[in-house]
Structure 1
């Protein structure tokens, strides 16, 4: 070995020793680091172990508590099971009774099902009769309601008619009293028939001179009282009838009144004309000559003939005033 080779080998050895020393230094440092880490891990494990011991103690306590509660729960479960068994036994008894009842019901149903079709037919018939009866009852109720309304209206009309008839009768009574004062014979001069027609008799001497159709002075007061009474008879038809006796017209009067027809008509016309002038309703009046066709008495003397010589004012009511 020469000197250069020795130098090279020495250099290589130095390098190798340096590398080995560096390695051991690095390994020592790494070992220290791992040692420190292990110590820290050991400390952490110690802490975790202490925590685990505490948790284990807690778990033991919880297990004891759960075992106590489980024991209570088992007792309650046992009691509940017994109660359920009792209820089940009772339910089975009730079910058996229900089955028996159902069997009886089925038997009854089988007995009655045979009559079902007849019952359905009868029920259908009864329903039809009921519907017809209801319709008839509704129609009857409507008819009764119409009759009730008509009755109420009729009662109102009767009340109005009674009031009107009372007013008319009062007017006639007053007229009778007035005419009695004007007629010395005090006879019945106002007559009301059952039909509602009213007849006012005015003797000849109250209105006319014998054989004349000219109204005298006393006629004005008499006819005025009649017209005043007519105010209580609205809508009545007013007929003024002239009546004579049966004697033949004298030769002197025959020029004006050839027969009793002309004389009776002239007297009726004169009375109508004067009454219209006093306010009597013109459109409801008429004058009629009756001559001697409707005597009141058989003529045997002057007194009976005087009864037949008269003016009659006939008041004929409309249908609404005719007594019901």
Structure 2
């Protein structure tokens, strides 16, 4: 057999051994490996995210349980506070019904006469709970003055008449003058009242003198001046300042000391 024929036979034998089987190219192998690598890492990532989600779900469930417990505690506290408030309200109602009335020593008759006086003089106030009378400063005095105006003398006369009648004649009074926060600046006013201290005290003195002239005994009276330091309202506008310029008269029990003096002790 010739050498050429042998080569042909050998080639055919090799072809028959290989048959129809083919090998994938290297680039396809690399792509397959890359996809496998990516799928592996994607699976790992998803597994991690799933674990995190499960952990978060457990944490949220725990927080929900804690929140529910806190809410239950808060609701119980609110319920306890509501019960305490109810008890306090009951105690207040009990005190209001059992404690004596506010310290107004005047009788009903005297109270009614003072209330009638307040209705007829809008700038005069009377508190039936305490027996305190308040005279608007403009009712009694002109601005910066301690001279009582005619209308002021009329109401003070009626006030003295009430205090000298019935059981009211056994009581004492304390006259207290107040000013607003405006300083004394006019030279004519400053010559008589150097400061608001002077003006408040001088106005209280003028009221005491007027009451004395209308028959109220001087031993039953005392006076004080508080300048601008006890305003009825904040001194933010003219209306408030007008109300702060006032004279107050406090009704005192017969045995109440005036300015620290025991009423039963002779002078």
* TM superposition shift of 1:167: 6.5
Question: Is the aligned partner of 1:242 residue 2:177?
Answer: yes
**Cα distance change, pair 167–307 in 1 and its aligned pair in 2 (3 A):** closer
* TM superposition shift of 1:237: 2.4
Given that 1:214 and 1:270 are in contact with CA atoms closer than 8 Å, whether structure 2 keeps it comes out as yes
Question: Is the aligned partner of 1:203 residue 2:136?
Answer: yes
The alignment of Structure 1 onto Structure 2 pairs a total of residues equal to 151
**Cα distance change, pair 317–304 in 1 and its aligned pair in 2 (3 A):** same
Query: Secondary structure in 2 aligned to 1:265?
Result: helix
More divergent stretch after superposition (244-253 vs 262-271): 244-253
The one of 210, 219, 222 equivalent to 2:155 is 222
More helix as a share of residues: 1
Query: Secondary structure in 1 aligned to 2:158?
Result: helix
The one of 253, 262, 275 equivalent to 2:198 is 262
* TM superposition shift of 1:292: 1.1
Q: What does 1:296-311 correspond to in 2, within 5 Å?
A: 296-311=232-247
Whole-angstrom distance in 2 between the partners of 1:173 and 1:300: 34
* TM-score calculated relative to the size of structure 1: 0.43
Segments of structure 1 that go 5 or more residues without pairing to the other structure are: 1-161
RMSD: 2.3
* TM superposition shift of 1:244: 0.4
Deviations 1:81-100 (A, max 9, x none): xxxxxxxxxxxxxxxxxxxx
* TM superposition shift of 1:274: 0.9
* TM superposition shift of 1:319: 5.4
Given that 2:179 and 2:196 are in contact with CA atoms closer than 8 Å, whether structure 1 keeps it comes out as yes
Whole-angstrom distance in 2 between the partners of 1:248 and 1:261: 10
The equivalent residue for 1:283 is: 219
The equivalent residue for 1:273 is: 209
The one of 109, 119, 128 equivalent to 1:170 is 109
Q: Which has the higher contact order (CA 8 A, sep 6+)?
A: 2
* TM superposition shift of 1:233: 1.9
**Cα distance change, pair 301–208 in 1 and its aligned pair in 2 (3 A):** same
* TM superposition shift of 1:284: 1.4
Q: What does 1:60-99 correspond to in 2, within 5 Å?
A: none
Query: Secondary structure in 2 aligned to 1:291?
Result: coil
Segments of structure 2 that go 5 or more residues without pairing to the other structure are: 1-100, 257-267
* TM superposition shift of 1:225: 1.3
Deviations 1:114-151 (A, max 9, x none): xxxxxxxxxxxxxxxxxxxxxxxxxxxxxxxxxxxxxx
Given that 2:110 and 2:168 are in contact with CA atoms closer than 8 Å, whether structure 1 keeps it comes out as no
Query: Secondary structure in 2 aligned to 1:240?
Result: strand
Whole-angstrom distance in 2 between the partners of 1:202 and 1:292: 16
**Cα distance change, pair 167–311 in 1 and its aligned pair in 2 (3 A):** closer
The one of 190, 194, 201 equivalent to 2:126 is 190
Query: Secondary structure in 2 aligned to 1:234?
Result: helix
Given that 1:213 and 1:266 are in contact with CA atoms closer than 8 Å, whether structure 2 keeps it comes out as yes
Whole-angstrom distance in 1 between the partners of 2:112 and 2:128: 11
Whole-angstrom distance in 1 between the partners of 2:171 and 2:105: 16
